[in-house]
Amino acid sequence: MIFKPADILIPKNIDYEKWSVVACDQYTSEPEYWEKAAKITGGAPSTLDIIFPEVYLDEPGGIDQIKKINETMSRYLATGIFETLKNSYVYVERSQSNGRTRRGLIGMVDLEEYDFRRGSHSKIRATEGTIVERIPPRKKIRINAPLELPHILMLIDDREKSVIEPLTERKSDLKKLYDFDLMLGGGRIAGYLVPESEHERITGAITALENKAEFEKKYGVFNKDVMVFAVGDGNHSLATAKSCWDEIKKSLTKAEAENHPARYALVELENIHDEALEFEPIQRVLFDVDPEDVMKALQKRYPRASSESNGGHRIRYKYGKNRGEVHIKDGAGNLAIATVQDFLDEYIEKNGGRVDYIHGDEVVETLTDAENTIGFMVDPMEKSQLFECVIKDGSLPRKTFSMGVAADKRYYLECRKIR
């Protein structure tokens, strides 16, 4: 089974709003966000104490912080803070900051069915390029951790709405596990225990998505390996889990590897056809550069670029009080973000500078008020393109899209033992 129920840990007798914090790879240029989160938790049991916000990843003392995280995980386990939902799925409804409600299903995926390398033929595939340099520091965090906390959002192309949506219709019959407001504008989340009577239906519906004949008909492809799941968010976290598992299994017998907890990763499964699910572009901000020089280099790199529409990729820019847009016909690939990334990679290699990947145009607007900083913004891709693009062309450029704005990312809540 590519996706199956898990022994899910949820906290009991705690303040859920203080417990649950947003994915660690958000607000990476805004340490003040994480300072606010720390003030809210105020020393209470919190996932903030068992994750490593990436805004701090390059600061000194990382090894000590990882040790502290592992010790806190062990303490939470030893003090009985968790209730175990044996062999379970959790149905989730997330009220987003825009008022819409998106639906998901918590379970675990088999990492043997996942390959994050470009050109992968696995049933679970990365949707965008994996930055392999980002795996080792994350691997240090996970390799000795007794727990995992997912912020991974996995997508299915379930046009018949056969996997998750039937649970919405049965919601009134399900046991409610939690229902609370998320901190710092994250909306609201409610979780429900899925009865065992639904497990067989879920398995059957996912198995139907693996049917090769239907797969070929759906995407108009032949002689292609079936892709069932696409990693929507948290690809580097899943890639880290995979790397850790590949290392761990070397010392295991075949029988030991069959059901080892590290072989699996807890994820939230979502249907790409959920009306509340929106794709947002991940924008780029370039620091420690001369913006005027950057714009000259862009024009030199793409001499046919125009400030007026020419049928090419539309790219908006801002630095200080300067703003505008360029249209590039001879860009890289089929997406505007590929053109931006291709240029930035080349520019940084030759001239230096530092790029950050930003969720939300308003954050770009604020950051680029500073000197020696320039931001590039593109329009979102259509989510209906995703599966077909990955199946036919392989993974998209790294950091191509985001499933919603930063405040709507998955908040840490459920846990699972991996040791």
Q: What is the pLDDT of residue 335?
A: 80
Q: What is the pLDDT of residue 331?
A: 80
Domain containing 338 — which CATH number? Answer: 3.30.1760
Range of the domain at 288: 281-379
CA–CA separation, 2 vs 185, rounded Å?
34
Residue 419 DSSP symbol: -
Q: How far is CA 393 from CA 90, 121, 130, 370, in A?
A: 34, 12, 15, 38
Identify whether 320 is part of a domain: yes
Q: Which of 206, 266, 194 is nearest to 2 (CA)?
A: 206
Q: What is the pLDDT of residues 94-142, one digit of tens each?
A: 999 889 999 999 999 999 999 988 888 999 999 887 777 778 888 999 9
**Whether residues 307 and 409 fall in one domain:** no
**Whether residues 326 and 341 fall in one domain:** yes
Q: What is the pLDDT of residue 185?
A: 94
Identify whether 391 is part of a domain: no
Q: What is the pLDDT of residue 137?
A: 85
Bridge partners, residue 156, by sequence:
271
Q: What is the pLDDT of residue 327?
A: 96
- Give phi and psi for 143, each to the nearest 5: -60, -35
Beta strands in 185-321, from DSSP E residues, in sequence order: 188-193, 229-233, 264-271, 279-287, 313-319
Structure tokens at 409: 């990312």
**Whether residues 233 and 298 fall in one domain:** no
Identify whether 395 is part of a domain: no
**Whether residues 291 and 173 fall in one domain:** no
**Whether residues 264 and 287 fall in one domain:** no
**Whether residues 164 and 286 fall in one domain:** no
pLDDT < 70 regions, the chain: 333
What is the number of structural domains in the chain?
A: 2
Element (H, E) at 59: none
| Cβ count near 249 (within 10 Å) | 17
**Whether residues 160 and 268 fall in one domain:** yes
Q: What is the pLDDT of residue 119?
A: 81
Q: What is the pLDDT of residue 417?
A: 97
Question: Cβ distance 180 to 94 under 8 Å?
Answer: no
Structure tokens at 411: 């908040």
Q: What is the pLDDT of residues 157-214, one digit of tens each?
A: 999 999 999 999 999 999 999 999 999 999 999 999 999 999 999 999 999 999 999 9
- The one-letter code for the residue type at 297 is A
pTM, two decimals, is 0.84
Identify whether 394 is part of a domain: no
Residue 152 DSSP symbol: -
Instruction: Kindly give, in sequence order, each residue whose CB lies less than 8 Å from that of residue 49, ignoring residues fewer than 6 positions away.
Output: 41, 69, 72
CA–CA separation, 410 vs 145, rounded Å?
20
Identify whether 396 is part of a domain: no
Identify whether 398 is part of a domain: no
**Whether residues 205 and 300 fall in one domain:** no
**Whether residues 207 and 349 fall in one domain:** no
**Whether residues 46 and 163 fall in one domain:** yes
Q: What is the pLDDT of residue 132?
A: 78
**Whether residues 243 and 289 fall in one domain:** no
**Whether residues 180 and 82 fall in one domain:** yes
Q: What is the pLDDT of residue 107?
A: 98
Identify whether 388 is part of a domain: no
Q: What is the pLDDT of residue 120?
A: 86
Q: What is the pLDDT of residue 136?
A: 86
Q: What is the CA radius of gyration of the chain?
A: 22
Q: How far is CA 157 from CA 75, 219, 409, in A?
A: 40, 11, 20
Identify whether 385 is part of a domain: no
